[in-house]
Amino acid sequence: MNQVLIDDDACTGCKTCYRACFADVIRWDAEAKRPIIAYPEDCVHCNFCEISCKDEALKVVADWDLPYPPVLERGFPYTVGGPR
């Protein structure tokens, strides 16, 4: 699974990462004024939250071995992704 790591000390609660995430991975804790990584399974590592954070408080770590739908039909033994 892709990960979005938050440096709580660096975060200033500006909410930019919440707005930047188009995949609804990041929700917002209004009380704590901090992002919640609510649906990391849907992160597509576009990195937009990370590059948009003026405080450099987020880092996206991609999982390159996520399952990928078949590229050849009928069970032809060829897979994309996973350890090579």
Partner 1 sequence: MTDLSHLGRVEQADVVVIGGGIGGLVAAVAAKEKNPDADVLVVERATAGWAGQANKGAGIWWYLAPEDDPDTFVKFHCDHIGHYIEDQDLLGQFGRESLATIERVDGWTHKLQRRDGEIIHKRFKPFLPWSLTGMDLDLMRVLARHAKKLGVRFIDKTSLTDLLTDGGRVAGAVGFSLLDGSPLVVQAPAAIIATGGQSYRIMGMWSCQRGDGLGMAWRAGAEMRNAEWGPFAQLAGIRGKEPLIGAEDALYNAWHEKLSPRFRGELEADVCGMTSATWYKQMMAGNGPLVTFHPENWMLANTTEDVEGGTVWDRPVAVKFWTTLISRVRAADAPGAFLEVYPAVLGELSPIKVDHHMATTVPGLYACGNACYNGSGLPGAVPASPGRMRGAGLYGATFMGIRAGESAAAQVATGAAPQADAAQAEALVREALAPLERADGVPAMDLVKAVQYAVNPVGYSIYKSEERMTEALGIVEGLKERLPQVKAADAHYLVAAHDARNMALSAELFYRTALERKESRGWFIREDYPERDDTDWLKWINAARTADGGMRIWTDDVPVADYPFQPSAAQPAAERS
Asked if 53 interacts with partner 1 (CB under 8 A), we say no
Q: Which residue has the tokens 């649906």?
A: 39
Nearest to partner 1 of 9, 54 (CB atom): 54
User: How many CB atoms sit inside 10 A of residue 71's CB?
Assistant: 9
Binder of partner 1 out of 1, 27, 29, 33 (CB under 8 A) = 27
Structure tokens at 35: 């992002």
Asked if 29 interacts with partner 1 (CB under 8 A), we say no
User: How many CB atoms sit inside 10 A of residue 36's CB?
Assistant: 13
Task: Provide the minimum distance between the beta carbon of 12 and partner 1 in the complex, in angstroms, as a whole number.
Answer: 19
